[in-house]
Amino acid sequence: MGLENQAFSDQVNLDNIQYNRNSHWERSQKPDPGEEESLYNEKNYYYTFVHNILYDEEHSPLNLIHHFERKEPKLSNHIYYYIKKKERNNPYKLIVDAMNINLYATGVGFLSFYLKNEDCTQNSPEDILAINQYGRRIMPPFFNDTRLRNEISEYIRIEGLNQTVYFEDFKSYTPYDSWQPSSSIKKLICELVTNLSIDPIIDDRMFVATWYKNNQLSQQFTNNAKAYFDSQDPFSDYWYRFLFIDGSNATCQNEKMKKELLEEHTYYRWQQWSSLYGISKYSLVYLTNNEVPDYLIEYFQTIYARMAELVLVQRASMLRFSGEITKVSQLSNQDVEAVSKRVSSLYKEYIRFVNQIYFREITAQDQGIEMYNKLHSCLQMESYIKDLDGEIEELHQYISLMEDRERNKKASLLNDIATLFLPITVITGFWGMNQISEVMEENGELSTGFIIQSLLLIIGTLCAICIIYKRKRKL
């Protein structure tokens, strides 16, 4: 937020963001007409203490999230997301149902596209794989892919927003543009805010949450509990590609490892009811048949998608904290008091994160508990939070050591001053406040007593200086 050199609390304070009040984004703190029942179902699904991070509500005391929605998709069904794949004549055309931006009080944000594929000519299993693979790429993973186009599309174009075309063909990238998101992504965000620093933090790809109805595919696993991981079953290869968003070929070519990955990342509770879920660190997928009840699709699009977003926010926040720890640890040569304030601020925000955002459990529903745990497992959240705890504690101990050393320096200075003035104090006390007549002899010369006392004072002062010098050398 342009506050990199300030305390972490100031960096992540949502009130410090400068919003463009004239943009086509609007803050939404109430459900739109027709969404009340869906929101009711969501809130009943999650524990109430989780609501503060999930929902931007007017009277929330914690101010953890600001939720914005794009205006145009609410008013028109003619906003489209185009994906042009190499060697395909026509681009894939998806309807933009909604676009949201969520900003969180940990210094991270979340841009979401809700897309619908209602064109039956681009609804084959291979089409779905291609849409997911190329639609999620917002930057080239390898520079030579700006020429080869194996991983990225020829272009992505969004039409219908405020009579503006958002276009990215990745041709403007140079070898010095690593970790730079698509210019259209930046443009969309910068239309809302004017003082944000935009940096991808988790991946160079968008997270994909997708559901797909296909009777032929669902029949292959409904009555075959091993179909999804059996290397001899053709379905397992497609399921792997669908789950891990592989456009052309499965990116695991070892049968044992492939089976292990599929067993680990597949959620098969409702397999015999033609519902198979998959969870990975960059996807949440749902494969079912055409007869699936509408409410199950709604649950996936709302409850489970929001659960995935929460876990991604937790993960991104951990990386944000880790990055701040790295910055602060490089400030060791600066003023100890200033560094200490930044560490205290960081520690305070981390405690808030652990208590109000990073939850061990978010629902009492069995399926929700299982899916949340699987999401945490896939993103290795337990090990990351443990490592982050260690980083925070080590930084706190380091700053405490610096503060102790600073206090010791000040105490040592006071001791040096006391040591230096001790002989003067002793001699002065012994000598007393003598009158001039007691210092001088009758013949005008200094008295012997005064000379002896003065010599003792000089010797004592020299001894004090020697003691201070030796003490400094030991330090």
* Residue extents of the structural domains in the chain: 3-313, 314-405, 411-473
Give the pLDDT score at 436.
45
Give the pLDDT score at 61.
82
Q: Which of 104-118, 192-206, 362-376, 407-421 has the lowest mean pLDDT?
A: 407-421
For the cut 80, the answer to whether the pLDDT of residue 208 exceeds it is yes
pLDDT, one tens digit per residue, over 378-408 is 999 999 999 999 998 888 787 777 766 666 6
CB 27 within 8 A of CB 66: yes
For the cut 80, the answer to whether the pLDDT of residue 458 exceeds it is no
Percent residues over pLDDT 70 in the chain: 83
* Distance in angstroms (rounded) separating the CA atoms of residues 251 and 240: 9
Give the model's confidence band at 132: pLDDT under 50 very low, under 70 low, under 90 confident, else very high: very high
Give the model's confidence band at 340: pLDDT under 50 very low, under 70 low, under 90 confident, else very high: confident
pLDDT, one tens digit per residue, over 41-96 is 999 999 999 999 999 998 888 889 999 999 999 999 999 999 999 999 999 999 99
CB 94 within 8 A of CB 135: yes
Residue with more model confidence, 339 or 108: 108
Give the pLDDT score at 403.
67
Give the model's confidence band at 337: pLDDT under 50 very low, under 70 low, under 90 confident, else very high: confident
Mean pLDDT of 235-263: 94
Give the model's confidence band at 203: pLDDT under 50 very low, under 70 low, under 90 confident, else very high: confident
Q: Please state, rounded to an integer, the average pLDDT across all residues of the chain.
A: 88
Give the pLDDT score at 116.
97
10 Å CB burial of residue 98 (0-12, 13-18, 19+) is middle
Give the pLDDT score at 431.
52
Give the pLDDT score at 474.
56
Mean pLDDT of 261-285: 96
Q: Which of 24-33, 51-60, 264-273, 324-333 has the lowest mean pLDDT?
A: 324-333
For the cut 60, the answer to whether the pLDDT of residue 446 exceeds it is no
Phi, psi of 395 (to 5 degrees): -65, -40
10 Å CB burial of residue 410 (0-12, 13-18, 19+) is exposed
Give the model's confidence band at 200: pLDDT under 50 very low, under 70 low, under 90 confident, else very high: confident
Give the pLDDT score at 426.
58
Q: Which of 29-33, 47-51, 315-319 has the lowest mean pLDDT?
A: 29-33
For the cut 60, the answer to whether the pLDDT of residue 282 exceeds it is yes
Give the model's confidence band at 1: pLDDT under 50 very low, under 70 low, under 90 confident, else very high: very low
* Distance in angstroms (rounded) separating the CA atoms of residues 18 and 423: 63
For the cut 80, the answer to whether the pLDDT of residue 457 exceeds it is no
- Quote the distance between the C-alpha of residue 452 and its chain's center: 74
pLDDT, one tens digit per residue, over 413-439 is 666 566 556 555 655 665 555 544 455
Predicted TM-score of the model (pTM): 0.85
How many other β-carbons are positioned within 10 Å of the β-carbon of residue 137? 21
Q: Which of 193-197, 358-362, 389-393, 418-422 has the lowest mean pLDDT?
A: 418-422
Cα Dmax for the chain: 127
Give the pLDDT score at 298.
95
Mean pLDDT of 175-190: 90
Residue with more model confidence, 419 or 158: 158
Q: Which of 39-43, 129-133, 330-334 has the lowest mean pLDDT?
A: 330-334
Mean pLDDT of 167-184: 90
